[in-house]
Amino acid sequence: MRSRYRGGLLEGNARARAREMRSHPTSAEGLIWSRLRRRNVAGTKFRRQYPLLGFIADFCCVEHKLVIELDGDSHGDREAYDAWRTEKLAARGFRVLRFSNEEVRRNLDGVLEVIWGAVKAPPPSPSPMSNNGGGESESGAPRR
């Protein structure tokens, strides 16, 4: 059976959709991409409309496990879905920053400062001693 993600069913659909979305960016996506591209933020490589775990992240820095999402008018009624999606990405070690399109248009430099700070901050590192990402067993007791 093919994997649902890497090279599998969802990735093929997500890749095609991501290509389509890259060719028709919103004005806010275009603004922020003009500043993120070519390693302009702390020498970090960002990808736009990046298929990730069955989702399409607006912008993603794989090296720092950082996802940037821009929420336009269509996200007003999708708060529960966005929260669920953020939770799923966080469970896989990704940090998610969300900005509204309006915030990007009005305060691009402020948005970029937040992104720069997130890139510079060390990502949370799971303990190599456990499979669940921490130094504790599934029950919460310290591992021995």
Q: What is the pTM of this model?
A: 0.71
The pLDDT of residue 19 is above 60: yes
pLDDT tier at 12, thresholds 50, 70, 90: low
Q: Does residue 57 contact residue 50 with C-beta atoms inside 8 Å?
A: yes
What confidence score (pLDDT) does residue 28 get?
Answer: 87
Mean pLDDT, the chain, integer? 78
Give the tens place of pLDDT for each residue, 87-109: 999 999 999 999 999 999 999 99
| Domain 9-120, CATH number (from 3.40.50.150, 3.30.390.50, 3.40.960.10, 1.10.390.10) | 3.40.960.10
The pLDDT of residue 72 is above 70: yes
Compute the average pLDDT of residues 118-144: 57
pLDDT tier at 144, thresholds 50, 70, 90: very low
CA distance 129 to 80: 34
pLDDT tier at 15, thresholds 50, 70, 90: low
